């Protein structure tokens, strides 16, 4: 989808906030612990190459992505850092990864048995362990030992890492997290291979369970200044600065009278004389219809979205006839008041991850600082 650069709706990405969040985490780590930035989903909609450039300049140790295509985009842009694909990559694509020095997660012994015949050069791999996420990975000690044997038997396979992912590190109750940690320790104890990276720390683990950093931290949502717990856990070891703001302008405004209706399905009826403004922003931009009824900021005042959100536009109820072009803030600060992605997530009954990842490429990006 092409960015709509001639429309007043835009994301503003603050490079300095990104640097701040990265360096705060970097300074909190043991000197030997590596810090990898998670750049999947276009860097959580922040713009992967621009984010990668900022992090390259502050000496990030590596990048984590979800797919081989995301990894290739970064590598082909010239970034030399280690790049790890966290998702499952088909065996048939392993050689392409090896040719581009891209590390792959391995979640089964069958994958390792099949990959050798595909390779023309060495491939770095990270064994994925399922300790309770139930997504991908080796689940038993027997499988882990067999995978180690397969790695030992093939000189083209380089055992770069072994890792797991926690399901509840962002929750106050640590019981399940402790079970996963114990499982990870049991699965990785006294292995016949030495891995460069033994890692299990996502953003939540890095912030609240730092003793489980091991050799590497995969820094995701907190890199972008958002609390991984959706602020269920409010205390963080350092200030997180939101990197993304989302703003637009009033493009149309009108006086309506009691009884008049708004938007598809005529779901909203004016109860009195009301002033309604139209914004060039809708569900095709990622602000889904479930956000109807939530608020935006106009001159520091909360103004509700009324009527169903349309594909390309939405309507808001405002207290006065503002001039066309008046700034409207959807995420960010406006006249001393702030709305966050977490606020939107609370309204939608989801996580701030989903709010920012839903934002589409149609929204133009402006980079500052």
Give the predicted TM-score (pTM) of the model.
0.94
**Cα-based distances in Å from 273 to 56, 143, 307:** 54, 69, 16
Instruction: Find out whether 1 is annotated in a ligand binding site.
Output: no
As a whole number of angstroms, the distance between CA 130 and CA 296 comes to 41
According to CATH, what is the number of the domain 244-339? 2.40.37.10
> Per-residue confidence at 62, pLDDT binned at 50, 70, 90?
very high
According to CATH, what is the number of the domain 15-224? 3.20.20.10
Which residues belong to the active site? 40, 264
Q: Is-same-fold flag (15-224; 244-339)?
A: no
Instruction: Find out whether 338 is annotated in a ligand binding site.
Output: no
pLDDT score, position 231:
79
Can you give the C-alpha Rg of the chain in angstroms? Answer: 23
Residue 369 in tokens: 């600082």
As a whole number of angstroms, the distance between CA 199 and CA 182 comes to 14
Residue 253 CB partners (closer than 8 Å, separation 6+):
275, 276, 277, 278, 318, 321, 322, 324
Which residue from 203, 202, 223 is spatially nearest to 21, judged by alpha carbons?
223
Domain parsing of the chain, residue ranges: 15-224, 244-339
pLDDT at 1 over 80: no
> Per-residue confidence at 211, pLDDT binned at 50, 70, 90?
confident
pLDDT in tens, 132-175: 999 999 999 999 999 999 999 999 999 999 999 999 999 999 99
């Amino acid at each position: 989808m092409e960015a709509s650069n001639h429309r007043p709706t835009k994301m503003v990405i603050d490079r300095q906030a990104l640097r701040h969040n990265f360096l705060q985490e970097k300074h909190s780590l043991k000197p030997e612990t590596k810090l990898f930035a998670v750049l999947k989903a276009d860097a959580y909609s922040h713009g992967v190459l621009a984010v990668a450039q900022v992090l390259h300049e502050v000496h990030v140790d590596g990048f984590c992505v979800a797919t081989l295509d995301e990894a290739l985009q970064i590598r082909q842009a010239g970034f030399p850092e280690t790049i790890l694909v966290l998702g499952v990559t088909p065996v048939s694509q392993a050689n392409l990864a090896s040719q581009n020095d891209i590390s792959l997660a391995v979640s089964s012994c069958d994958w390792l048995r099949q990959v050798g015949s595909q390779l023309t050069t060495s491939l770095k791999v990270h064994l994925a362990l399922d300790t309770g996420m139930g997504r991908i990975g080796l689940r038993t000690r027997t499988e882990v030992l067999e995978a180690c044997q397969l790695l030992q038997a093939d000189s083209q396979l380089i055992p770069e890492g072994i890792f797991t992912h926690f399901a509840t590190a962002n929750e106050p109750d640590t019981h399940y997290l402790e079970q996963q940690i114990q499982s990870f320790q049991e699965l990785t104890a006294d292995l016949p291979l030495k891995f460069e990276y033994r890692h299990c720390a996502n953003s939540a683990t890095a912030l609240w369970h730092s003793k489980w950093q091991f050799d590497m931290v995969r820094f995701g949502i907190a890199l972008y200044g958002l609390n991984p717990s959706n602020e269920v856990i409010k205390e963080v070891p350092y200030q997180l600065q939101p990197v993304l703001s989302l703003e637009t302008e009033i493009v149309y405004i009108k006086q309506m009278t009691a009884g008049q209706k708004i938007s598809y399905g005529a779901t909203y009826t004016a109860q009195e004389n009301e002033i309604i403004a139209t914004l060039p922003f809708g569900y095709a931009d990622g602000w889904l219809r479930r956000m109807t009824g939530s608020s935006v900021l106009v001159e520091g005042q909360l103004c509700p979205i009324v009527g169903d959100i349309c594909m390309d536009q939405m309507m808001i109820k405002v207290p006065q006839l503002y001039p066309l072009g008046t700034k409207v803030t959807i995420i960010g600060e406006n006249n001393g008041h702030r709305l966050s992605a977490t606020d939107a997530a609370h309204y939608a009954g989801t996580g701030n991850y989903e709010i920012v990842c839903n934002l589409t490429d149609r929204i133009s990006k402006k980079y500052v600082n």
